[in-house]
Amino acid sequence: MAAAFAALVSLESNLLLIYNHPKHSFEFEEKQIQSLRGSVSFLISFMKSYDESHGAAKQAAEALEMRIAHAAQVAEDVIESHMVDQIRGGKTRSSRFLLDLQKAIEGMDYMRRKTLNVRARHQQQQSTYSSAAVATQSTSLTFTMLGFDDVLLQLLDLLTGLPSSRRVIPIQGMGGTGKTTLARKAFQHKYIVEHFDVCLWATISQEYSLHKILLELLSHLRKSDSGTGTGTGTGTVDGLQERLYKSLYGLRYLIVLDDMWNVKALDDMLFLFPDTNNGSRIILTTRHSDVAEHLGVSPIAMSFLDEDNSWQLFCQIAFAEQQGCPRELEEAAMKIVAKCKGLPLAIVVIGGHLRKSSMALDYWENVAESNLNDEQCLNVLSLSYNYLPVHLKPCLLFIGAFPEDCIIDAWDVLKLWIAEGFIQQGEYSSLEEAAGYCLWDLYLRNLIVVDKWDQRDEIYTFKVHDLVRDMCLKIAKEEEFLYVFETPRAINRERRVVISGGTNHEVIASDAPVRFLMWERGCYDTSNLYDLKLLRTLRNITTTSISGSILQQLNLRYLNVDLAHIIRPMLYYLPSSMSLLWNLQTLIINITDQSKVIAPYEIWEMLQLMYLEVDKICLIDPPPVDRENRLVMRNLGSLYRVENFRLSNEVCKRIPNVRELRLSYCDEVSSNYCPRNLSCFHHLQCLWLQFDDSSKWREFVTSLTFPSTLEFLCLSGCGVDWEELTMMVGSLPNFFELQLLQDSVTGSVWNPEEEKFLRLKYLTIHDCDDLVYWNADSASLSISAMRTLVEQEEEGNDSLRLDVYFQGDKETLKSFKHKVQEEGLTSTNLSLHLDRS
């Protein structure tokens, strides 16, 4: 369960944080904290272990989940409330606090004992769960392959064409896109039945039994051979494997492995089927991209239906006994189809429901205006959730907080996951890296749809199908994990709240345990937030100030505040008390153009800060680092839109692990900016530099010393020449993207030097008006472009073309061909030209 695991991981993180306040020491008994740690660690381990179990043991564990969640939440609330009271008013331990903490510890101990009983019972039981049991949970619905005729033809060609060696053909897509139906259509196709000696089908599913699957395949094989229904008998797994292998040897067979969930199951299966070079084929259907990738072949990807095919499919199902859609129902029916968003399963489920329902117009209009959360459709989609590893469940449910049909920023989701305490760092180098792998895992399971990739081939933005979102919201509400309110109502005990309509936060009770507040739009008075001691996340707040009650939210991890509704340019001074937000990880402040935020030096005491973005912000120099290096911001990875940032020795010591810097410089040039110290940032990967006047900043820019870790650079308004640019970054070993914006470079001719920019993949030149000739005919630059072309072709992009022109230089052409041959680079989309003019 998402709520239980999230609460445990969050509590675990809090128990570590109580020792990390830069100035304050909290009064806790060490024995009490150690007792809580032990219980939390045990319960997290228990949830991970039972997540992989099944049958009665899993049911018994699931019955405890709500109670585990509640116990962990009570403990965390007691600890965080006490820390707030101590910081705000200097309160010492009260008898009430000690009593509450002891009750919380006893509650966690009790849940530990209960789970020990579950584990003991589980060890005494023998699992009887089989693949057949899982198969009964699947939908029995079938539908025609409207819109997928070309895909079916592609599959038939793969099944019957070359090569003659055994071939595995993966069909991949999210639940409900028609993977099994496509496989079934091919499996039953007359031509396929005649082409293969034997056709066998097995359903694998998440919790498969190899013994049962072997019996199933052998049973189908006997029926295929003799037409009788006699069984195969029993036997050991090894014996059944040998029998199946020998039975298939020499036959041209087609095997369908339906609903393959993981690579281990795939590896367990493939060696069962001999390759006798006679054109045998294996089809597997999967929701997971990594299963297909493990095979090293491109899958048949099942996508959504377009508008026309969605309508045709719906009409086939809903009006099967009629001559099409009655005219009076057409408008309502089209609305219903549009809500299915091209998901075949949703269309079939809704169409099947309406075929058996009243044909009265008012009934259809009611359906068209309602949420199409048909239970059967959601149950099918819920399989993807039920079988998620426990650490991914809160991550998926949380995505339901974002509006329907919106494009979601991946990096923002990662920061929110971390702020909410869902992420365990584990073996990863940082929480951000661990969160990134969670998002990637959801993508591999086809639960999110990537909208855009970044230049590192990481997810930049993504979307979620509406039915997946509906599933998330339904489960999140059942588990008391997340609530989305579209109409005003009192908020009393909800912990995560999204306000998507006209609801104002004034309806939130002062003692509500709210931790997450997100608004989709609107301006809100923040003065009433003071009593919400447990608040962790404030997202999309629109206000006139970020002082007052906001700075009293001492448990805040994430703050996104919008000051942009104030039209005139202003200077905003953050108070020194902002350092009270000692747990803050992400701070985003949106302001009007030409406005600025002035931060106090106390911002350097916010040691948990990971991401700071304010357009624009001025940072006062920090005081010297103390001898123990206690005030070093080791977590800060992204620092955006800082104006006139001084790269002093003290600054470099304070933020040693920064990976992204977005800086702007204006007014007077000063040696205090210390350009050579840029090289002290040994983890810096991305750098944006903007200047107000190219003529005066040129010397400063050419004095910058770039670290070897730099991968991306964007320049604007600095006015260096092309040779200086090459000297600055042309030799960086990891440098692959360069953006040259307005007046960043001067000079009419750019002649790239040999052996420079060897790893450059992406180059943008915009508003550099002096440039007339770019003589990109050197062999090394062309080789870099050639590598990119081959990489794109290997990823399936055959539309990219590369034309290389060598201006009257046979030696350069010869050198290029030699290097291409050395690296083994070949492409049919490459054209070489020798210009003798």
pLDDT at residue 141, rounded to an integer: 39
pLDDT of 250-272, one tens digit each? Answer: 999 999 999 888 888 888 889 89
SS3 of 432, please? helix
User: Quick one: the chain helix, strand, coil %, rounded to 5?
Assistant: 45, 15, 40
CA dist 307 and 324 (Å) reads 16
Instruction: Reply yes or no on whether the pLDDT at 331 is more than 90.
Output: yes
Rounded mean pLDDT of 48-56? Answer: 65
Assigned token pair, 130: 């089989």
CA dist 556 and 535 (Å) reads 6
Instruction: Reply yes or no on whether the pLDDT at 512 is more than 80.
Output: yes
Assigned token pair, 292: 């297909």
More confident residue, 486 or 261: 261
More confident residue, 511 or 101: 101
SS3 of 519, please? strand
DSSP character for 633?
Answer: -
Residue written as token pair 């072709």: 793
Instruction: Reply yes or no on whether the pLDDT at 733 is more than 60.
Output: yes
User: Is residue 504 a contact partner of residue 483, using CB atoms and an 8 Å limit?
Assistant: no
Per-chain mean pLDDT for the chain? 84
Rounded mean pLDDT of 518-522? Answer: 72
Closest CA to 158 of 145, 149, 169, 172: 169
Cite the DSSP H helix spans in 301-453: 307-318, 330-339, 344-355, 361-369, 375-386, 393-399, 410-419, 431-444
Assigned token pair, 424: 């365990």
User: Is residue 178 a contact partner of residue 345, using CB atoms and an 8 Å limit?
Assistant: yes
Instruction: Reply yes or no on whether the pLDDT at 421 is more than 60.
Output: yes
Cα–chain center distance at 668? 43
- What contacts 606, CB < 8 A, 6 or more positions away? 578, 579, 581, 582, 584, 633
pLDDT at residue 496, rounded to an integer: 93
Rounded mean pLDDT of 377-386? Answer: 70
Identify the bridge partners of residue 408 per DSSP, sorted by sequence position: 462
Assigned token pair, 230: 């006699």
Query: pLDDT category, 315, cuts 50, 70, 90?
Result: very high
Mapped to the 3 state alphabet, what secondary structure does 117-151 carry? HHHHHHHHCCCCCCHHHHHCCCCCCCCCCCCCHHH
User: Is residue 462 a contact partner of residue 449, using CB atoms and an 8 Å limit?
Assistant: yes
Closest CA to 170 of 189, 184, 156, 155: 155
User: Is residue 397 a contact partner of residue 472, using CB atoms and an 8 Å limit?
Assistant: yes
More confident residue, 471 or 416: 416
More confident residue, 280 or 624: 280
pLDDT of 348-358, one tens digit each? Answer: 878 877 887 88
User: Is residue 738 a contact partner of residue 763, using CB atoms and an 8 Å limit?
Assistant: yes
pLDDT of 16-34, one tens digit each? Answer: 888 777 777 777 778 888 9
pLDDT at residue 192, rounded to an integer: 93
Candidate from 326-330, 380-384, 662-666 with smallest mean pLDDT = 380-384
HSE (side-chain half, CA atoms, 13 Å) at 35: 16
More confident residue, 182 or 491: 182
pLDDT at residue 768, rounded to an integer: 84
Single-letter code of the amino acid located at 12? E
User: Is residue 156 a contact partner of residue 186, using CB atoms and an 8 Å limit?
Assistant: yes
CA dist 750 and 833 (Å) reads 20
* Phi and psi angles of residue 559, each rounded to the nearest 5 degrees, phi first: -135, 120
Query: pLDDT category, 36, cuts 50, 70, 90?
Result: very high
Category of 525 on φ-ψ map: left (φ > 0), alpha (ψ -120 to 50) or beta: beta
The percentage of the chain sitting over the pLDDT mark of 90, rounded to a whole number, equals 39
- What contacts 628, CB < 8 A, 6 or more positions away? none
pLDDT at residue 506, rounded to an integer: 53
pLDDT at residue 796, rounded to an integer: 64
pLDDT at residue 672, rounded to an integer: 86
Helices 2-17 and 65-89 pack at an angle, to 10 degrees, of 30
CA dist 809 and 811 (Å) reads 6
CA dist 388 and 256 (Å) reads 24
Residue written as token pair 């002096």: 770
Rounded mean pLDDT of 656-667? Answer: 94
CA dist 74 and 110 (Å) reads 13
Helices 55-62 and 30-50 pack at an angle, to 10 degrees, of 140
Candidate from 35-49, 279-293, 543-557 with smallest mean pLDDT = 543-557
pTM for this entry: 0.78
Instruction: Reply yes or no on whether the pLDDT at 565 is more than 70.
Output: no
pLDDT of 786-827, one tens digit each? Answer: 877 787 777 666 666 777 766 656 777 777 788 888 888 888
CA dist 716 and 256 (Å) reads 57
CA dist 516 and 538 (Å) reads 6
Query: pLDDT category, 135, cuts 50, 70, 90?
Result: very low
Single-letter code of the amino acid located at 69? A
- CA angle centred on 283, ends 281 and 284, rounded to 5°: 145
Query: pLDDT category, 590, cuts 50, 70, 90?
Result: confident
Query: pLDDT category, 488, cuts 50, 70, 90?
Result: low
Closest CA to 768 of 806, 835, 814, 718: 718
Candidate from 15-24, 65-74, 591-600 with smallest mean pLDDT = 15-24
Candidate from 139-143, 168-172, 192-196 with smallest mean pLDDT = 139-143
Single-letter code of the amino acid located at 791? E
Sheet bearing 253-260, strands edge to edge: 198-203, 253-260, 281-286, 167-172, 300-301
pLDDT at residue 130, rounded to an integer: 31
* Phi and psi angles of residue 587, each rounded to the nearest 5 degrees, phi first: -130, 115
Q: How many residues does the chain have?
A: 837
pLDDT of 430-484, one tens digit each? Answer: 999 999 999 998 887 778 888 888 878 899 999 888 778 888 999 999 999 999 8
pLDDT of 288-306, one tens digit each? Answer: 888 888 888 899 999 889 9
Assigned token pair, 193: 């039945």
Helices and strands, counts by H and E, the chain? 27, 29
More confident residue, 833 or 523: 833
Identify the bridge partners of residue 738 per DSSP, sorted by sequence position: 713, 763
Concatenated DSSP letters of 706-761: --TT--EEEEES--EEHHHHHHHHTT-TT--EEEE-TTSEE-SEE-PPTTSSTT--
Query: pLDDT category, 92, cuts 50, 70, 90?
Result: low
pLDDT at residue 139, rounded to an integer: 34
- What contacts 332, CB < 8 A, 6 or more positions away? 361, 364, 365, 367, 368
pLDDT at residue 394, rounded to an integer: 96
Closest CA to 601 of 525, 654, 637: 654
Closest CA to 207 of 245, 264, 267: 264
pLDDT at residue 142, rounded to an integer: 43
pLDDT at residue 745, rounded to an integer: 93
pLDDT at residue 778, rounded to an integer: 54
Instruction: Reply yes or no on whether the pLDDT at 373 is more than 50.
Output: yes
User: Is residue 735 a contact partner of residue 709, using CB atoms and an 8 Å limit?
Assistant: no
Assigned token pair, 382: 């819920």
pLDDT at residue 566, rounded to an integer: 63
Residue written as token pair 């930049």: 460
- β pairing state of 459-463 and 449-453: antiparallel
Closest CA to 381 of 138, 175, 171, 141: 175
Instruction: Report the sign of the C-alpha dihedral through residues 342, 344, 349, 353, in that order.
Output: positive
* Phi and psi angles of residue 795, each rounded to the nearest 5 degrees, phi first: -90, 5
Rounded mean pLDDT of 618-640? Answer: 85
CA dist 537 and 584 (Å) reads 9
More confident residue, 442 or 159: 159
pLDDT of 530-549, one tens digit each? Answer: 678 889 999 888 777 777 67
